[in-house]
Amino acid sequence: MRLGFGEILVVLALALLFFGPSKLPQLGASLGQAIKGFKKGVSEVEEPESEKKLPPAQP
């Protein structure tokens, strides 16, 4: 299911009505930080820290 331009406008209009114009920049910033943190967490799951810092095995 994809959102079209009209649906996105409706969601933005509802957000503006619900939160008000003064809160929207704060919400956008916190949403951006959440997405950034989520992407960082996903990349860390793919490459765990323990595997990055282990020294090479001795023969």
pLDDT digits (tens, 9 = 90+) for 32-51: 999 999 999 888 776 655 55
In a domain, 24, yes or no: yes
In a domain, 17, yes or no: yes
Total domains in the chain come to 1
In a domain, 31, yes or no: yes
In a domain, 23, yes or no: yes
In a domain, 19, yes or no: yes
Share of the chain above pLDDT 90, in %: 34
Sequence-distant (6+) residues with CB within 8 A of 27 are 15, 19
Cα separation, 27 vs 1, whole angstroms: 24
Share of the chain above pLDDT 70, in %: 80
Structural domain range at position 29: 5-43
In a domain, 51, yes or no: no
In a domain, 33, yes or no: yes
Q: Choose among 59, 41, 6: nearest CA to 14.
A: 6
Cα separation, 59 vs 56, whole angstroms: 9
In a domain, 11, yes or no: yes
Q: 47: which 2 tokens?
A: 């490459």
DSSP state of 49: H
